[in-house]
Amino acid sequence: MIILGLDPGLGTTGWGLIAADGNRLRHVGNGQIKTEPSMPLPRRLSNLYEALGEMIRVERPDSAAAEEVLGNTNAQSTLKLGQARGVVLLAAASAGLAVGEYHPSVVKKAVVGTGGADKRQIQAMVGHLLPGVKLSGPDAADALAVAITHAHHLASAQARARRSTGIGA
């Protein structure tokens, strides 16, 4: 299964693709989609949608997951981030992908082991879990962490389903 992880942002949206086979993970690709701050907001959102849609068409992931948005003290920044996140969710859903959503602390705990991990710790663990990965930047690392979290959650759900049905027990 190919999983697309997404770290939404208006200035930079990170994306990461992994192949998951149970608990075995393999890096497929990662990158960042940037929008030009001098452009009008609607054009930036449209560019984000188009670039993400094209990446999904080319890479053909089986499912997607996105990080949830945390509010901050600047309401305008939070609103713009929420709009970018909406575009990211729309692009994935429009491509027919089921989209998981994870709070940042859940992602950090799944990848690093603590919900208070910083970006350096996330990057280090992503590198450990996906040996040889060359990260396009911190937003791509965060997106890969979201994909890893989604893979773990899917594997756990599948194991629970097998136990409840007695298949594979």
Q: What secondary structure does DSSP assign to 70-88, as a single string?
A: PP-S-HHHHHHHHHHHHHH
User: Does the annotation mark 118 as catalytic?
Assistant: no
**What predicted TM-score, i.e. pTM, was given to this entire model?**
0.92
User: Does the annotation mark 7 as catalytic?
Assistant: yes
Domain boundaries, the chain: 2-165
**Chain mean pLDDT for the chain:** 92
The answer to whether residue 28 scores a pLDDT higher than 70 is: yes
User: Does the annotation mark 21 as catalytic?
Assistant: no
The answer to whether residue 168 scores a pLDDT higher than 70 is: no
Per the residue annotation, which of 7, 54, 68, 101 is the catalytic one? 7
DSSP state letter for 4: E
What per-residue confidence (pLDDT) applies to 62?
A: 97
Per the residue annotation, which of 54, 68, 139, 142 is the catalytic one? 139
What per-residue confidence (pLDDT) applies to 169?
A: 54
Per the residue annotation, which of 36, 62, 67, 118 is the catalytic one? 67
Confidence class of residue 26 from pLDDT cuts 50, 70 and 90? very high
Q: State the CATH class of domain 2-165.
A: alpha beta
Greater confidence (85 vs 168) lies with 85
Q: Is there a binding annotation on residue 68? A: no
Q: Is there a binding annotation on residue 67? A: yes
**Mean pLDDT score, 149-167:** 78
Is the CB of residue 105 less than 8 Å from the CB of residue 142?
A: no
The answer to whether residue 92 scores a pLDDT higher than 90 is: yes
The answer to whether residue 22 scores a pLDDT higher than 90 is: no
Range scoring the smallest mean pLDDT among 45-49, 61-65, 143-147, 152-156: 152-156
118-155: per-residue pLDDT in tens? 989 999 999 999 999 999 999 999 999 999 999 998 88
The answer to whether residue 91 scores a pLDDT higher than 70 is: yes
Any residues with CB less than 8 A from the CB of 73 and at least 6 apart, and which?
A: none
What is the rounded CA–CA span in Å between residue 109 and residue 69? 17
51-60: per-residue pLDDT in tens? 999 999 999 9
Token pair of 45 as six digits: 């959102």
Q: Is there a binding annotation on residue 139? A: yes
